[in-house]
Amino acid sequence: MERLEWILSTLEQMLNTKQKRHIAGGVLVSAALLFRGLGVTVVTLKDETHELEEF
């Protein structure tokens, strides 16, 4: 529990201004979109692999 409090305290100190929170939010959204794109790519590649094995 102390570790969680320490992490939250550190985040609060790092993101103490509106501009820093805005930048951090943008980075998180970008990372989420990147991993979504990677997931879609993996799913589509798996579908193509199964289609090629059938022939």
CA 54 vs. chain centroid, Å, equals: 35
DSSP state of 16: -
Nearest-angstrom CA–CA distance, 34 and 43 = 14
Residue-level pLDDT at 43 = 82
C-alpha torsion sign, points 19, 21, 27, 32 = negative
pLDDT digit string (tens) for 2-55? 999 999 999 889 899 999 999 999 999 999 999 999 988 888 877 665 655 655
Residue-level pLDDT at 51 = 59
Residue-level pLDDT at 1 = 86
Q: What is the pTM of this model?
A: 0.60
15 contacts 21 by C-beta, under 8 angstroms = yes
* Residue whose entry in the numeric block shows the structure tokens 């979109």: 33
DSSP state of 55: -
Residue-level pLDDT at 47 = 64
Residue-level pLDDT at 42 = 83
